[in-house]
Amino acid sequence: MSAWAIRHISTAVAALGRLSRQPFASLMTVLVIGVTLALPAAMHLVVKNAQIISASWDNALDFSVYLRTDVTLEDAQRLVDIVGQRADIESVTLISAADALEEFREQSGFGEALDHLSVNPLPHTLVVRPGAANTEISIGLLNEELGNLPEADFVQVDTEWVRRFHAILNILERAIAIGTTLLAAAIIVIIGNTIRLDIQNRREEIEVTKLIGASNAFVRRPFLYIGVWYGLGGGLLALALVGYGLYALEEPVLRLSGLYSSPFVAVTLDLKESLIIAGSGVTLGLVGSWLAAARHMRRIEPR
Amino acid sequence: MIRIENVCKRYPGGHDALNGLSLHVEKGEMVFVTGHSGAGKSTLLRLIALIDRPTSGHVIVDGQDTRRVTRRKIPAYRRQIGMVFQDHKLLYDRPVFDNVALPLVIAGLTHREAGRKVRAALDQVSLLSKEKQSPETLSSGEQQRVGIARAIVSRPKVLIADEPTGNLDPDLSLEVMRIFRRFNEVGVTLLIASHDIALIDQLGCRRIALADGSLAVEKEEDPVAEYVERLEAENMRDTWQP
């Protein structure tokens, strides 16, 4: 191992040792950073899970095309074939008026009342499932085109709210990004301030070290490592907090998805996301301590 | 080795600490700077250590004009000079060994590489057995010797000391001076500020007296001349006696 590496490792270890000599104060700082990092991480996880749930709804974005009542079953059948040939449509199924009435009779409980009807008031209906390659715009065009069919009475997009939900998630994501930026700035300030106090407390030591020939980089190094440790500690704590939060939520989530007979299980942070959180802790720690050291170290000169 | 050329130092507020001082310390010399407090001893050492810069004139150490040493190069410059302070300036949060090793660590050595040199330096000040202790547990004289070990551990050619015996009793002072003397014998150039004239005379080194920021008298150690001087002074006192 090179002398350079040994020097850095020993500085890092010494910085850790210094922190462990004031366990309470160090822990408080780590706690503040950990909670501040856990906040956006948890929010991110909520959005991520919501996206996973709503992704399964995406496939259910079906159009119900109610045909005019004067369209015969044969015409409807022909229309199914024609519409089904379109490239942007995955499948078309026909629910005939008779089937629809039968289903309605079974599900509504109006069975006997319906028997008194002389004619079936229900139209034939096409259930159109668009292909997966469709975009928001092409879905809109498809909606319009289906509505313009001469046989169509009106088109209903049953799952319009899924798109609204997606839009809300997008806003939420953006809001989290903004919030994360502010919290990152807060962490830099917290670490910077802690390091500034530390520099002031060790003013005499810095003076003596400079007096016997230490460069700014040499006196700065231990403080940078302290910042890195704070950040790393905070990052790991944030991961632990998020992990514990998920663990606490696991049972109620399972119960809920059981009620919906859904196989949904809340996803946790993957390796990449965990590394990003720990890494941003370290980066913010380094930036915060660097700013504090650059600002205050220069002014401390031997007298 | 140390050449001071027509140096003036005016502090903010208009106080002139040095006033056109010129002096020269040869390579391998051990020279004392004496004078009352405020005569400019400390200022002179501060200029050599580049804690301050002269208002005018040149301070040249080992051929290097301090005017040419930029802010960035000050650390490297200071590493060439050993410094001993009246208040030791030790770091009390770490053991003696780490204190003495500090200049080597700053210069980029690892603790292990520094070990041999640190022990050699501690041996020279007879503190080898105390390397693991905290400086706080040592007496003032021992602390000063730790300070000296730190100043010489990287084998500087020049060593400057500001009142190194200021807080020590006469026995300890003499011991510290003997240590300096030994370094001088192996070729280190020393410039020591002190007001302990009796002690200096015991050592028989060149003495530069400062008064009000310039040279008062520069005299070679000459016991005979001094004896005559003292006799004359006594005679005069006698004659003036009523």
pLDDT digits (tens, 9 = 90+) for B88-136: 899 998 899 999 999 999 988 877 888 999 999 999 898 999 989 999 9
Q: Is residue B194 part of a domain?
A: yes
Q: Is residue B58 part of a domain?
A: no
Using the Cβ of A302 and the Cβ atoms of chain B, whether some distance falls under 8 Å is answered with yes
Using the Cβ of B161 and the Cβ atoms of chain A, whether some distance falls under 8 Å is answered with no
The CA–CA distances, whole Å, from B63 to A178, B6, B58, B66, B142 equal 59, 16, 11, 9, 34
Which helix (H) or strand (E) segment holds residue B93: the answer is none
Domain membership of residue B227 as a residue range: 25-53+64-80+157-242
Q: Are residues B198 and B231 in the same domain?
A: yes
Q: Are residues B138 and B211 in the same domain?
A: no
Q: Are residues B121 and B240 in the same domain?
A: no
Instruction: Tell me which range, A176-190, B6-20, B62-76, B189-203, is most confidently predicted by mean pLDDT.
Output: A176-190
Q: Are residues B71 and B188 in the same domain?
A: yes
Quote the crossing angle between the two packed helices A160-201 and A216-259, to the nearest 10°. 150
Q: Are residues B136 and B231 in the same domain?
A: no
Helix (H, G, I), strand (E, B) or coil at B101: helix
Given B155, B172, B204, which residue is the final one in a domain?
B155
CATH number of domain containing B201: 3.40.50.300
Is the pLDDT score of B151 beyond 90? yes
Using the Cβ of A13 and the Cβ atoms of chain B, whether some distance falls under 8 Å is answered with no
Using the Cβ of B197 and the Cβ atoms of chain A, whether some distance falls under 8 Å is answered with no
Q: Is A166 exposed, middle or buried (0-12, 13-18, 19+ CB in 10 A)?
A: middle
Q: Which residues of A touch B49 (CB under 8 A)?
A: 211, 302
Q: Is residue B71 part of a domain?
A: yes
Given B135, B155, B175, which residue is the final one in a domain?
B155
Q: Are residues B107 and B209 in the same domain?
A: no
Q: Are residues B169 and B150 in the same domain?
A: no
Q: Is residue B1 part of a domain?
A: no
Q: Is residue B11 part of a domain?
A: no
Q: Nearest CA to B219 among B233, B237, B200, B235?
A: B200
The CA–CA distances, whole Å, from A113 to A97, A104, A108, A109, B124 equal 17, 12, 11, 9, 115
Q: Are residues B164 and B136 in the same domain?
A: no
Q: Is residue B17 part of a domain?
A: no
Q: Are residues B139 and B209 in the same domain?
A: no
Q: Are residues B36 and B111 in the same domain?
A: no
Q: Which residues of A touch B78 (CB under 8 A)?
A: 211-213
Helix (H, G, I), strand (E, B) or coil at A79: helix
Position B242 scores a pLDDT of 46
pLDDT in tens, A286-303: 999 999 998 888 888 887
Instruction: With CB atoms and an 8 Å threshold, state whether B108 touches A3.
Output: yes
Measured at the CA of B146, the angle between CA B50 and CA B153, to 5 degrees, comes to 65
Position A238 scores a pLDDT of 96
pLDDT in tens, A55-112: 766 555 778 888 888 888 888 888 888 888 888 888 888 888 888 888 888 777 777 7
Give me the mean pLDDT over the B49-58 stretch. Answer: 91
Position B237 scores a pLDDT of 56
The CA–CA distances, whole Å, from B148 to A122, B82, B180 equal 105, 8, 9
- Band (pLDDT 50/70/90 cuts) for residue B221 is low
How much is the ipTM here?
0.82
Given B132, B155, B178, which residue is the final one in a domain?
B155
Domains and CATH numbers, chain A: 3-57+163-297 (no CATH), 61-158 (3.30.70.3040)
Give me the mean pLDDT over the A253-275 stretch. Answer: 85
Position B109 scores a pLDDT of 84
Position A239 scores a pLDDT of 95
Using the Cβ of A51 and the Cβ atoms of chain B, whether some distance falls under 8 Å is answered with no
Span of A10-14, A161-165, B221-225 with lowest mean pLDDT = B221-225
Q: Is residue B216 part of a domain?
A: yes
Q: Are A191 and A280 in contact (CB under 8 A)?
A: no
Instruction: With CB atoms and an 8 Å threshold, state whether B79 touches A303.
Output: no
Q: Are residues B220 and B102 in the same domain?
A: no
Instruction: With CB atoms and an 8 Å threshold, state whether A213 touches B93.
Output: no
Neighbours of B205 (CB within 10 A): 19
Q: How far apart are CA A280 and CA A290, in angstroms?
A: 15
Interface test with A, best of B77, B104, B110, B158 (most A CBs within 10 A): B110
Is the pLDDT score of B174 beyond 90? no
Q: Which residues of B touch A212 (CB under 8 A)?
A: 78-79, 83, 102-103, 106, 150-151
Position A282 scores a pLDDT of 96
Q: Nearest CA to A46 among A246, A222, A195?
A: A246
Give me the mean pLDDT over the B77-85 stretch. Answer: 92
Q: Which residue of chain A comes nearest to B81, CA vs CA? A: A212
Tokens 């409807």, residue? A76
Judging by DSSP bridges, how do beta strands B206-211 and B30-34 pair with one another? parallel
Q: Is B203 exposed, middle or buried (0-12, 13-18, 19+ CB in 10 A)?
A: middle
Instruction: With CB atoms and an 8 Å threshold, state whether A212 touches B83.
Output: yes
**Domain count across chain B:** 2
- Band (pLDDT 50/70/90 cuts) for residue B220 is low
Position B210 scores a pLDDT of 87
Give me the mean pLDDT over the A258-263 stretch. Answer: 79
Instruction: With CB atoms and an 8 Å threshold, state whether B109 touches A3.
Output: yes
Q: Are A216 and A298 in contact (CB under 8 A)?
A: yes
Q: Are residues B74 and B99 in the same domain?
A: no
Distance from CA of A43 to the nearest CA of B (A): 44
HSE, CB side, 13 Å, CA atoms: give it for residue B71: 5
- Band (pLDDT 50/70/90 cuts) for residue B20 is confident
Neighbours of A125 (CB within 10 A): 20
Count how many pairs of residues, chain A against chain B, have C-beta atoms within 8 Å: 52
Q: Is residue B35 part of a domain?
A: yes
Neighbours of B14 (CB within 10 A): 6
